[in-house]
Structure 1
Amino acid sequence: MTMMRKRGWASLGMAALLLVGAGCGTKSSEAPPETGKPSQPEQLAPVSLTLFKEDNGVSAETVEQLIRNKFPQVTLKVIKSGKGTMIDEVVASGETPDIISYSLGGLWKLKDLQLLSDLTPLIQTHKFDLNRFVDGVVDTVRSYSDNGAFLVMPFELNNNALFYNKDIFDKAGVGYPQDGMTWDQVYDLAKKLVRMDGNVQVNGFHYNFLNVIYKNQLALPFVDAKTNKAAVNNDAWAQWVKVMTAFYTIPGNQPPVDEKTAFLKNQTLAMRTGPNYITELAASNLNWDLVSFPSFSGSSLTGTQMNAPYYAIPPASKNKDAAFQVISYLMSDEVATELARQGRIPIVKSEAVRKEFGKGIAGLEHKNLAAFFKDTIAKPAPQTKFDGAAKSAFNAMIVSMLGGGKDTNTALRELEETVNKQIEQELRR
């Protein structure tokens, strides 16, 4: 949830957690064992480990319980990110975590704090099979380093989909969306759905701005990694902006304060895109379904950028080997299966794991959950430490354009100037 969202998993029953712990180390009857399987975690000697957990992905309570159930020989100290316990404050106090769970938006912060180490030697020692990951994960992780180091271990995906309100479509007499649509097709569909229903304005389509910006499908960089200059004022980004702002030129399709609330609670929005939040949808009274995330017409790029929370091991940890064995367990198919059942999108390609997605949540039995897996991982865009500020400025630019006050060329030129000033200020610090 940066976009990394909170769906909470702390409510998972103890019985399920114990089942996960008991299952580790046994061979699955549904699939042959993976090659290069990590060393058995029960070989771990008694050790004290400190886990720093940001509020992202799986809850701190769940991760803690998983570790304690599987490794009773581990004395575990958990530090949750919060007021007075932010990662920089923890480090400044002299504490060195052995494992850090963090979101992608903080990657460069951890780099600056020198809290990321290359996991490659540990991966090789413990024969951790990187081929277990969905295609694109390994390349994306290696793109975070200048020399191809494997700095973090992402543990779940944040795939996108297009969600729709079936009742609004039915009332308008319009056919439902389908998998494989383009943004242009969604635009045409949205125009048919905008109307006044009594005194209520019904909108056709809205999206979470930051989510589509951070995970842009065209693999476009925000900053040139070689020159440290803004890379946003060009034809490729102009195409993106024209397509993604066109929806708000539809009369009556003005963006609400919160598109998620408009869709989920008020039920006045026909379609929205965004990350996975099926636990909330399943608990609502909304008559909904989903299809795959739309793509750009004429582009072969259909997937979105990976935005996954991850585990990391700081270079200063004195227990790297034990920390990696714990992470290996948290990345196991057994744990991934139980997480998938609770609605978390698995980062492993195992069909046995993926087919369990959402099965632990009532109300999803006839939903098109396969749509999430059609959002493949796009070719990674070059990353820089200035991307966070650039993306925020990009988001502000999009919002400023919705009233029709600026044309695309003017908006991108002003954005370029803003981003370059931000970079210059950062470099002077």
Structure 2
Amino acid sequence: MKIRTNPVKAAVAYGTPLLFLAMCTSACGGGGAPADQGAVPQTQQQPVTLTFFTEGNSVVLAEQIEQLVKEKFPHITLKTIKHGKGTTIEDTLNAGITPDLISYSLGGLWKVKELQLASDLTPFLQKYKFDQNRLANGVVDTVKSYSDKGEFLVMPFELNNNVLFYNKNIFNKFGVPFPKDGMTWEEVNELAKKVSRTDNGVQYKGFQYNGLNIVYKNQMGLTFVDPKTMKSTVNNDQWKKWMETMSSFYRISGNEVSGDEKDNFLKNQTLAMRTGPNFLTELPAAVEKGLDWDVVALPKFAGMESAGSQMNAPYYTIPPTSNNKDQSFQVIAFLLSDEVQTVMAKQGRIPIVKSEQVVQAFGSGLDVLKGKNLSAFFKDNIAKSIPPTKFDGIAKEGLTSIGLAQVNTGVKDVNTALREAEEQINIKIAEQNK
């Protein structure tokens, strides 16, 4: 990769936060983990090459991560394998390649565990005096819930908190007050009714959401699969209440399911409110086309205002077969240092650490976020983890595509959709167990 004349300015302009981070750490003397993180002095270090397998969020950042590590640790070279056709984690293992460090999305956690690619990081947390209290509230307990023995198998590196985005132009057009922090889904429903209108032949919709994302958030803390019976648990009164609430938006006149929520908000700009994966890097183009936007905290269910969301964060892990565990952990500790997290936060990545200084830096490097209600991103707190199972992914997908999607479009009623979703989930679980 060629370095531009002004790499920092170019990195910010083109939305590559880790490239900007690499340049900044170089210019600032390397940044890195604070002394209390137990970083080993880099003098007299033997050269080492770490095989780094990356899937999900980190694939597009692979080159930047390589440069970042090179600037901090001159003796460490990352040899990156990106997930893709012919280069899945299974392909990599079948080729006889042993990764030293893995970056994976949470949805693939059980695959990583079943392939025996995750090892307990506790000895390294202790050896390098990594302060777990630096991590956002709920992270440590959630990570330990992934292991029957309470091991620290993975290290999340950024949060995936959600907010409610809203189009100020639509609210102003119809003289309706903007959304506010602390709303319930029921209150959002009433607000959506007021802005689901037709004006000059244009149908404006009140609210849409990304179904799979909202299922993963699981704000009611409901189980998907019984960890004892390994049977689906999505057909009950609690899930019925959840689905009735979330599907009620699409029963609003004028707010029926139509088009993609992301396109409706960013491109068509006919959607008043939406939630789902954050798309901060795509906002500048939408703003140029006239979008006037802001955010408020992710709404919650009435009577459960103090509840949080299930953590859904990408993570690093070190396979037990690695011969370079110490160096791999030093890389992880560096990427979670306050210095690195601060620069990442400036570029719109929600930090995994709870340092006020880091949190306050969130979005400060992106002009499109200036003046926005950025504190809303940090009100989507992490809830107590539900008992996880290796079939949760099957259940989440089934609940979304078989259950929620059919209720939202009016194909099935809630009771029928949940019953059929559970039946199909159990069939797929049985097939997996063969």
Query: By the TM > 0.5 criterion, same fold?
Result: yes
CA gap 1:254/1:208 in 2 versus in 1, 3 angstroms: same
Q: Is residue 308 from structure 1 mapped to residue 313 from structure 2 by the alignment?
A: yes
Aligned to 2:53: 52
Aligned to 2:3: none
**CA deviation vs aligned residue, 1:262-283 (integer Å, no higher than 9, x gap):** 0011100000012322222244
Shift of 1:410: 1.8
Corresponding pairs, count: 414
Structure 2 distance, partners of 1:108, 1:41, is: 35
Note the residue ranges of structure 2 that are not aligned, 5 or more in a row: 1-14
Aligned partner of residue 223 in structure 1, secondary structure: coil
Of all paired residues, the percent bearing the same amino acid is: 57
- Aligned residue for 1:42, secondary structure, equals coil
Distance 1:330 1:20 in 2: 15
| Alignment-derived partner of residue 349 in structure 1 | 354
Matched AA of 1:424: A
TM-score norm. by structure 1 comes to 0.93
Amino acid at match of 1:379: K
In 2, Cα distance between equivalents of 1:417 and 1:140: 29
User: Which whole-Å deviations, capped at 9, do the CAs of 1:375-400 have from their partners, x for residues lacking one?
Assistant: 10011111111111111111111111
Q: CA deviation at 1:13?
A: 7.1
Q: Provide the TM-score with structure 2 as the length reference.
A: 0.92
Alignment equivalent of 1:410, drawn from 412, 416, 421 = 416
Give 2:190's aligned residue.
188
Q: Does 1:423 align with 2:425?
A: no
In the other structure, the counterpart of 1:219 is: 221
Superposition deviation, residue 260 in structure 1 = 0.4
Distance 2:136 2:397 in 1: 29
SS across alignment from 2:364: coil
Deviation at 1:311, TM superposition (A): 0.5
Say whether the 8 Å CA contact 1:38–1:328 is kept in structure 2.
no
1:199 Cα offset (Å): 2.1
Aligned mates of 1:181, 1:297 — CA distance in 2: 9
Partner residue in 1 for 2:89:
87
Match of 1:291 in 2: 296
**Per-residue deviation, 1:14:** 5.6
CA distance in 2, matches of 1:14, 1:375: 29
Q: State the partner residue of 1:37.
A: 37
Q: What is the rounded CA distance, in whole Å, between the counterparts of 2:182 and 2:246 in structure 1?
A: 17
Shift of 1:407: 2.1
CA 1:300 to 1:266, structure 2 compared with 1: closer, same or farther past 3 Å? Answer: closer
User: CA RMSD, aligned part only?
Assistant: 1.7
**Residue 20 of structure 2, aligned match among 12, 18, 25:** 12
| Alignment CA distance shift 1:243-1:222 (3 Å) | same
Q: Which residue of 2 aligns with 1:329?
A: 334
> Does 2:253 correspond to 1:251?
yes
Distance in 1 of aligned mates of 2:137 and 2:412: 39
CA distance in 1, matches of 2:367, 2:360: 16
CA deviations 1:228-265 (Å, max 9, x no partner) are: 01111111111100100000110110123310010011
Secondary structure, counterpart of 1:186 in structure 2:
helix
Question: Aligned residue for 1:77?
Answer: 79
Task: Please name the residue that 1:241 is paired with.
Answer: 243
Partner deviation per Cα, 1:11-44 (whole Å, 9 max, x = no partner): 6376324236523366xxxxxx7xx523245255
How far residue 411 of structure 1 moved from its aligned partner, in angstroms, is: 1.6
Deviation at 1:74, TM superposition (A): 1.4
2 CA distance for matches of 1:20 and 1:322? Answer: 22
Answer yes or no: is 1:339 the counterpart of 2:344.
yes
In structure 2, distance between residues paired with 1:13 and 1:420: 46
Give the Cα–Cα distance (whole angstroms) in 2 for the partners of residues 298 and 248 of structure 1.
Answer: 22
- What amino acid sits opposite 2:409 in the alignment? G
Secondary structure, aligned partner of 1:69: helix
Give every structure 1 segment of 4 or more consecutive aligned residues whose post-TM-superposition deviation is greater than 6 Å.
none
- Structure 2 vs 1, CA of residues 256 and 403 (structure 1 numbering), >3 Å: closer, same or farther? closer
The answer to whether the 8 A contact 1:53-1:102 is kept is yes
Change (3 A) 1:354 1:20: farther
Matching residue of 2:31: 23
Pick aligned residue for 2:206 from 204, 216, 229: 204
Pair 10,154 (structure 1): closer, same or farther in 2 beyond 3 Å? closer
**8 A contact 1:294–1:302 mirrored in 2:** no
Q: CA deviation at 1:345?
A: 0.2
Q: Distance in 1 between matches of 2:364 and 2:118?
A: 35
Q: How does 1:84-123 map to 2 (within 5 A)?
A: 84-123=86-125
Between the aligned partners of 1:20 and 1:404, the Cα distance in structure 2 is 57
More helix by share: 2
Change (3 A) 1:354 1:13: closer
Change over 3 Å in CA distance of 1:407–1:301 after alignment to 2: farther
Change (3 A) 1:403 1:25: closer
